[in-house]
Structure 1
């Protein structure tokens, strides 16, 4: 990386509100994985199945995210593909919270997630590394 950041493959957006939204996105992603784990661990009366679900579902979600939705994802689908993965993983987290009998929390998570994704996609700078190929 050069001293001024130009020529680098990763573009850092210096708008503070945009960076705050990106931090919120990361926190939402981590919370969604935790909620999927929690749901999986409580979904069955069988301990072995609960452990498999509690570890397996977040592992699958994290793998999908890494492959298709992460800023440096090795596979770059279209914007609709990325949004599909985001809805699947983050919406799954909200549904997991609902499944654990917290409907208000699930609604709050869903609304915050929708606002966060909308802000990220609407205000993404054209040609930025995160928006390239999406």
Structure 2
């Protein structure tokens, strides 16, 4: 990508990165919400509401974040994103049904594809 094309694409890149962050937060919130609504013994739902998003956040920070703890190949990063966002979509499916989960998953796929394209083009 030429420097002129990169400069023109910069605002779209920034908007997409902001959306990516929002989707990551939403996935964590969905996992917490799902955990909190499970019919478990006393304290079990609270524990699941904490452990599910915390586990996803640790996995994300270790392998998929822009400044991840460990640098892994693109396929591994996308795999981690698929696991975390897939869990978020599954949680939304359990909470609100298929339409909401499908919309969330669709936005995630488009956002991740655009982000991957922009990052690879800039490299």
Pairing 1:122–2:121 present: no
- Runs of 4+, deviation exceeding 6 Å: none
Over aligned residues, Cα RMSD in angstroms? 1.2
Counterpart-to-counterpart distance in 1, 2:89 and 2:103: 9
- State the distance in 2 between where 1:36 and 1:22 align: 21
Gaps (5+ residues) in structure 2?
1-8
Partner of 1:39: 34
Q: Distance in 1 between matches of 2:39 and 2:72?
A: 34
Shift of 1:70: 0.5
Q: 1:29 and 1:90 mapped to 2: Cα distance?
A: 8
Give me the TM-score of the superposition, normalised by structure 1: 0.81
- Residue among 64, 84, 89 paired with 2:84: 89
| Higher helix residue share | 2
How many pairs are equivalent?
A: 114
After superposing the two structures, state which structure 1 stretch, 40-49 or 85-94, moved more.
40-49
Output the CA distance in 1 between the equivalents of 2:51 and 2:112.
Answer: 25
Q: Does 1:66 align with 2:61?
A: yes
Gaps of 5+ in 1: 1-13, 128-134
Establish whether residue 51 from structure 1 lines up as the match of residue 46 from structure 2: yes
Cα shift at 1:93? 0.6
Match of 1:27 among 22, 26, 48: 22
- Please list the CA deviations of residues 68-127 of structure 1 after superposition, one character each: whole Å capped at 9, or x if unmatched: 001000101111100011011111111100011322111100000000000011222343
